[in-house]
A and B are shown apart, each in its own frame.
Chain A
Amino acid sequence: MSLALHLPALQVVIPLVSAPLAVLFRRAGPAFLIVTAASWAAFATAIALWLKTGDGATISYAIGSWQPPWGIEYRVDRLSSFVLLIVSGMAALTLPYSRASIEREIPREQHYLFYAMFALCLTGLLGITITGDAFNIFVFLEISSLSSYVLIALGRDRRALMAAYQYLVMGTIGATFIVIGIGLLYLITGTLNLADMAGRLAQVGGTRPVLAALAFLTVGISLKLALYPLHQWLPNAYTYAPSAVSAFLAATATKVSVYVLIRFYYSVFGESLVFAKLPLPQIMLLLSVAAMFAASAVAIFQHDLKRLFAYSSVAQIGYITLGLSFDSVTGLTASIVHLFNHAVTKGALFLLIGGAVAVVGGATLSRLSGLARVMPLTSFGIVLGGLSLIGVPGTAGFISKWYLVLAALEKGQWWLAMAIVASSLLAVAYVWRFVEVAYFREPRADLATRREAPLALLVPAWILVGATVYFGLETSVSVGSAANAAAMLLGIGK
């Protein structure tokens, strides 16, 4: 049997195996090499899978040759391969970065544990995305969640413990809701395989237990994806986690949760059930708009750049869920493409901030004053990333905004189109806080001799900054995949 047939299994197995290996060596150097190599292998696998699903094909892989629906099935289609690409790509960039970055943040004897946890987190996120089994989703969700609690708690600031604990409580509540939802579905359908479940649910229709399952899953997943107002865990987690962890989680964790939501809505329940039986689109729309405005407004008044961009993440997640609430091809395309664009943009921003933290010792705005004088490349990168958050043409963020506004206008909702563009003006306000601090103030006296961040931190960050601009001008990968995935989910075309 050729290796290519087993790509779906390898996608998860390689990072999974790298975690215990890293622990066995008990040393930072080998652990780093193993996990980084595993993440690159995972990225290569994801690219291969993405290419294989290019023609709209779905790859089904039976784990241990136990045929679905009895065994666990891995299922790769246009949407999951696209999310796999985002997750593994971010890991492949963040890991090389983390080596220099955690040097300053985590005691050296704990480094190998960091890499092991990182590998497990990556495994979990990839597993959630690739699996076609409802309970398996829960298992991988727990793997990724537990490892991310540890990763966050590794932060240098003691408040990281509190943040991790808060995330643990909220995350556990979310996971409980999710497992109750899955349990209900299992009771109703007697299967855990998602495709099988979808077929059986179609016969049951919108009975009350099905709706209850839908409600439990929606709330549980919304907690994990930080839908406003269930986002309370996010700002602290992103602020106090080690820089590399902030970047990786900001770019991937909430995105994978959005993926799970889309998967359940469109591939399991079916859009007719979700959007017709419950006032879900209305609720989703309301909460999304609230996120876009409230979280952006809160971001404007933050004193810590990491926290500022964490709140901005909550707002940006609002754009993603807003796209879902339209229940149209354009809206869904907007959601999926923003999933990607925001991952790239936020990843870039948090990596750059990590570099700044490493050099100036903190991310509070008062510490960052005059940053442009000390670290011109980092500052300029943050500005470019900020422009993408605003949605300036020529950046990835513009593409998302274009599709969102178009989706709103297609529905004839002028006020929503205006709300989208108005909320992006709030982004101008919080991005410009950084600009004015970095470019108009003098650097603090103790920072005058500091220099630009080391290349090990700057190069991965600027690769993502470059991607932010690239995907604003050339979108055959991002929009192409998103549009195909949206058409597939809504059963249009192929």
Chain B
Amino acid sequence: MTGNALILAALAIPLLGGIGIALCARRANLREAVTLVTSVLLFICVASLLPAVLAGARPQAHLLEPLPGLPVAFEVEPLGMLFALIASGLWIVNSIYSIGYMRGNKEAHQTRFYVCFALALTSAIGIAFAANLITLFLFYEALTLVTYPLVTHHGTAEAKRGGRVYLALLLGTSMLFLLPAIVFTWHVAGTTEFRPGGILPAQLAPATLAVLLALFMFGIGKAALMPFHRWLPAAMVAPTPVSALLHAVAVVKAGVFSVVKILVYVFGLTALDGNTDWLVAVASFTIVAASVVALRADNLKRRLAYSTVSQLSYVVLATALLAPLSVAGAVFHIAAHALGKITLFFAAGSIYTAAHKTEVSQLDGIGRRMPWTMGAFAIGALSMIGLPPAAGFVSKWYMLSGAMAEAHWGAVAVIVGSTLLNAGYFLPIVHRAFFRAPRPEDASHTHGEAPLPIVIALTLTAVGTVALFFAPEVPLALAQRMLVTP
């Protein structure tokens, strides 16, 4: 197939899959089969774009033109390729996991759940392949809206509250800041296309540039820069597979992906020189502050959520440093954090399914009953901290090298310091699970490991986290391709 057809297929497959899932509502096994087949097809479709992109090609597709000069168009550039690969690849694993989780917990409205998931994937692919800001915005908003039913899945008062925060912050930031930023870009540049080196005219006043940058950075609420991060912990009210794929991978990565993409392709890294100090500061603050909150959170998913807020800002920080090495680290971290964090969420959901535990303080000795789960958790934790042999080490290495090359010692201190904080809130969990004796009230519990699909899924992602450490070539090659200026 040509690049054009593959792009359109990648968008259509999850969409059609969603329809197929809805049609099989009454036959659960068939419905789950449709989900799995769709996710595998999507991954194959996305992966077959990879060789061309690695070779330097940029396949394109043009859908329609809602406004003159502002088409809904797609172009696969290296960064989008990476994001699409991660989202579609992990969707397969997450689908396996979802089946175990949703059945294990006897969740209601499973058809709606799988349909929304499929639609969320269409939106994520749309974001990844967007060739201009208007297309990005279209799918960005769509992603918020189709994930809303997933966040509020349980339909309880708490879910409704979480959903309100989720919508208010994500829609609020994108409408208040991102849309005016896009319109302004169109107004001054006459285009919203992503082009290497940026599209903004060189004579833009520094003050205007600063305002525009702020509008874009805070407008992308999905990147969870403080103070617009609250939606992420609020979204933890969702079932764990949602937290895992969407709020560790697709949605949040759509956020930082958009940040990197806009910095690189709208502003241009060279044009930004000297304008990103405040962004470095905001990202640094977010990294440290979110880690401190995570340190104090007893609820496991909440701790993971704040860890995500912190880890996302690594990507923003590393990009804002503008050094090629650190930007490469940022790109790699999108992949590394995705694999590590989905593993951690999978483990959290596994614990909930098997033992119905949600708090860190309840986890004493659970590693003996659930060795696979907690083993995977340990690997994910290593990746978050940035220790070998986990993928997080590679990204941190690049980020630190970049920060040192720029002689930005503040950033170096933040990265090193937050590593300690990460260790401070992840290692105690691993220690509790394996080295503390079970609490007396747990003696009567008879649970063992979680259902098999869950164990398979979290083992796969844990293996992936380690594998990415030993074989980081593809993401790094894509990062280098992205940074080649034409």
Q: Which of B72, B155, B179 is A405 in contact with, Cβ under 8 Å? A: B179
Q: Give the residues in chain A near B486, CB-CB below 8 Å.
A: none
Q: Give the residues in chain B near A414, CB-CB below 8 Å.
A: 180
Q: Which of B64, B68, B152, B187 is A406 in contact with, Cβ under 8 Å? A: B187
Find out whether the CB atom of B134 lies under 8 angstroms from the CB atom of A418. no
Q: Which of A184-192, A292-300, A422-430 sits within the interface?
A: A422-430
Chain B nearest Cβ from A292, distance in angstroms: 14
- Determine the distance from Cα of A394 to Cα of B155 in the docked complex, in whole angstroms: 27
Chain B nearest Cβ from A319, distance in angstroms: 14
Chain B nearest Cβ from A468, distance in angstroms: 13
Contact string against B for A residues 157-184, beta-carbon threshold 8 Å, 1 for contact and 0 otherwise = 0000000000000000000000000000
- Determine the distance from Cα of A401 to Cα of B178 in the docked complex, in whole angstroms: 13
- A409 at the binding interface (Cβ < 8 Å): yes
- B129 at the binding interface (Cβ < 8 Å): no
Find out whether the CB atom of B155 lies under 8 angstroms from the CB atom of A421. no
Cross-chain pairs A/B with CB under 8 angstroms, 12 sampled: A390-B175, A391-B175, A392-B141, A392-B145, A402-B183, A409-B187, A418-B180, A421-B176, A424-B175, A428-B168, A472-B66, A474-B64
Contact string against A for B residues 394-424, beta-carbon threshold 8 Å, 1 for contact and 0 otherwise = 0000000000000000000000000000000
- A55 at the binding interface (Cβ < 8 Å): no
Chain A nearest Cβ from B5, distance in angstroms: 21
- Determine the distance from Cα of A401 to Cα of B66 in the docked complex, in whole angstroms: 13
- A479 at the binding interface (Cβ < 8 Å): yes
- Determine the distance from Cα of A397 to Cα of B292 in the docked complex, in whole angstroms: 42
- Determine the distance from Cα of A401 to Cα of B175 in the docked complex, in whole angstroms: 10
Q: Give the residues in chain A near B281, CB-CB below 8 Å.
A: none
- Determine the distance from Cα of A474 to Cα of B175 in the docked complex, in whole angstroms: 22
Across the two chains, which residue of chain B brings its CB closest to A436?
B160
Across the two chains, which residue of chain A brings its CB closest to B68?
A479
- A25 at the binding interface (Cβ < 8 Å): no
Q: Decide if the interface of chain A is mainly helix, strand, loop or mixed.
A: helix
Contact string against A for B residues 174-217, beta-carbon threshold 8 Å, 1 for contact and 0 otherwise = 01100110011011000000000000000000000000000000
Find out whether the CB atom of B175 lies under 8 angstroms from the CB atom of A421. yes
Besides A409-B180, A421-B175, 19 other A-B contacts (C-beta < 8 A): A393-B134, A405-B180, A406-B183, A406-B186, A409-B187, A410-B187, A417-B180, A417-B183, A417-B184, A418-B180, A421-B180, A425-B171, A428-B167, A428-B175, A432-B164, A432-B167, A439-B152, A472-B66, A475-B66
Find out whether the CB atom of A394 lies under 8 angstroms from the CB atom of B138. yes
- B16 at the binding interface (Cβ < 8 Å): no
Q: Which of A394, A421, A436, A475 is B179 in contact with, Cβ under 8 Å? A: A421
Residues of chain A from 226 to 241 with CB closer than 8 A to chain B in the complex:
none
Which bracket fits the contact residues of B?
20 to 34
Find out whether the CB atom of A393 lies under 8 angstroms from the CB atom of B137. yes
- Determine the distance from Cα of A421 to Cα of B68 in the docked complex, in whole angstroms: 22
Across the two chains, which residue of chain B brings its CB closest to A420?
B180
Contact string against A for B residues 116-152, beta-carbon threshold 8 Å, 1 for contact and 0 otherwise = 0000000000000000001001100110010000001
Q: Give the residues in chain A near B152, CB-CB below 8 Å.
A: 439-440
Q: Give the residues in chain B near A390, CB-CB below 8 Å.
A: 171, 175
Q: Give the residues in chain B near A405, CB-CB below 8 Å.
A: 179-180, 183
- B172 at the binding interface (Cβ < 8 Å): yes
Given A402-B67, A422-B176, A473-B72 in contact, is the A393-B141 Cβ separation under 8 Å?
A: yes
Residues of chain B from 337 to 388 with CB closer than 8 A to chain A in the complex:
none
In the complex, which of the residues A392, A418, A475 has the most CB atoms of chain B within 10 Å of its own CB atom? A392
Q: Which of B66, B171, B180 is A474 in contact with, Cβ under 8 Å? A: B66
Given A394-B138, A399-B66 in contact, is the A428-B171 Cβ separation under 8 Å?
A: yes
Q: Give the residues in chain A near B141, CB-CB below 8 Å.
A: 392-394
Listed in ascending order, the chain B residues whose CB lies under 8 Å from chain A are 64, 66-68, 72, 134, 137-138, 141-142, 145, 152, 155, 160, 164, 167-168, 171-172, 175-176, 179-180, 183-184, 186-187
Find out whether the CB atom of A409 lies under 8 angstroms from the CB atom of B155. no
Find out whether the CB atom of B183 lies under 8 angstroms from the CB atom of A409. yes
Find out whether the CB atom of A399 lies under 8 angstroms from the CB atom of B184. no
Number of A residues with CB within 8 Å of any CB on chain B: 30
- Determine the distance from Cα of A164 to Cα of B134 in the docked complex, in whole angstroms: 45
Given A387-B145, A425-B176 in contact, is the A473-B155 Cβ separation under 8 Å?
A: no
Q: Decide if the interface of chain B is mainly helix, strand, loop or mixed.
A: helix
Residues of chain A from 425 to 472 with CB closer than 8 A to chain B in the complex:
425, 428, 432, 436, 439-440, 472
- Determine the distance from Cα of A21 to Cα of B438 in the docked complex, in whole angstroms: 88
Chain B nearest Cβ from A84, distance in angstroms: 24
In the complex, which of the residues B66, B141, B186 has the most CB atoms of chain A within 10 Å of its own CB atom? B66
Chain B nearest Cβ from A399, distance in angstroms: 7
Across the two chains, which residue of chain B brings its CB closest to A483?
B68
In the complex, which of the residues B142, B145, B172, B183 has the most CB atoms of chain A within 10 Å of its own CB atom? B183
Contact string against B for A residues 400-413, beta-carbon threshold 8 Å, 1 for contact and 0 otherwise = 01100110011000
Find out whether the CB atom of A418 lies under 8 angstroms from the CB atom of B67. no
Across the two chains, which residue of chain B brings its CB closest to A394?
B138
In the complex, which of the residues A393, A418, A421 has the most CB atoms of chain B within 10 Å of its own CB atom? A393
- Determine the distance from Cα of A479 to Cα of B65 in the docked complex, in whole angstroms: 12
Q: Give the residues in chain B near A479, CB-CB below 8 Å.
A: 67-68
Find out whether the CB atom of A473 lies under 8 angstroms from the CB atom of B142. no
- Determine the distance from Cα of A414 to Cα of B186 in the docked complex, in whole angstroms: 15
Across the two chains, which residue of chain B brings its CB closest to A330?
B187
- Determine the distance from Cα of A425 to Cα of B137 in the docked complex, in whole angstroms: 16
Chain A nearest Cβ from B192, distance in angstroms: 11
- Determine the distance from Cα of A474 to Cα of B64 in the docked complex, in whole angstroms: 7
- Determine the distance from Cα of A409 to Cα of B251 in the docked complex, in whole angstroms: 30
Chain B nearest Cβ from A387, distance in angstroms: 7
Find out whether the CB atom of A473 lies under 8 angstroms from the CB atom of B183. no
- Determine the distance from Cα of A472 to Cα of B167 in the docked complex, in whole angstroms: 21
Q: Which of A393, A422, A425, A432 is B138 in contact with, Cβ under 8 Å? A: A393
Across the two chains, which residue of chain B brings its CB closest to A405?
B183
Find out whether the CB atom of B68 lies under 8 angstroms from the CB atom of A473. no
Q: Give the residues in chain A near B179, CB-CB below 8 Å.
A: 401, 405, 421
- Determine the distance from Cα of A440 to Cα of B157 in the docked complex, in whole angstroms: 8
Q: Give the residues in chain B near A393, CB-CB below 8 Å.
A: 134, 137-138, 141-142
Given A399-B67, A440-B160 in contact, is the A394-B142 Cβ separation under 8 Å?
A: yes
Chain A nearest Cβ from B35, distance in angstroms: 22
Chain A nearest Cβ from B237, distance in angstroms: 13
- Determine the distance from Cα of A392 to Cα of B167 in the docked complex, in whole angstroms: 13
Find out whether the CB atom of B160 lies under 8 angstroms from the CB atom of A418. no
Chain B nearest Cβ from A405, distance in angstroms: 5
Q: Give the residues in chain B near A392, CB-CB below 8 Å.
A: 141, 145
Find out whether the CB atom of A418 lies under 8 angstroms from the CB atom of B176. yes
Contact string against B for A residues 227-258, beta-carbon threshold 8 Å, 1 for contact and 0 otherwise = 00000000000000000000000000000000
Chain B nearest Cβ from A404, distance in angstroms: 9
- Determine the distance from Cα of A474 to Cα of B168 in the docked complex, in whole angstroms: 28
- Determine the distance from Cα of A99 to Cα of B168 in the docked complex, in whole angstroms: 41
Chain A nearest Cβ from B67, distance in angstroms: 6
In the complex, which of the residues B68, B160, B171, B175 has the most CB atoms of chain A within 10 Å of its own CB atom? B175
Across the two chains, which residue of chain B brings its CB closest to A472?
B66
Q: Which 9 A-B pairs have the closest CB atoms?
A: A393-B138, A405-B183, A409-B187, A417-B180, A421-B175, A473-B66, A406-B183, A421-B176, A392-B141
Q: Which of A406, A425, A472 is B175 in contact with, Cβ under 8 Å? A: A425
Q: Give the residues in chain A near B138, CB-CB below 8 Å.
A: 393-394
Q: Give the residues in chain A near B176, CB-CB below 8 Å.
A: 418, 421-422, 425
Across the two chains, which residue of chain B brings its CB closest to A429?
B168
In the complex, which of the residues A399, A417, A418, A421 has the most CB atoms of chain B within 10 Å of its own CB atom? A421
- Determine the distance from Cα of A472 to Cα of B66 in the docked complex, in whole angstroms: 7
Find out whether the CB atom of A425 lies under 8 angstroms from the CB atom of B160. no
Q: Give the residues in chain A near B68, CB-CB below 8 Å.
A: 479
Find out whether the CB atom of B155 lies under 8 angstroms from the CB atom of A440. yes
Across the two chains, which residue of chain A brings its CB closest to B168?
A428
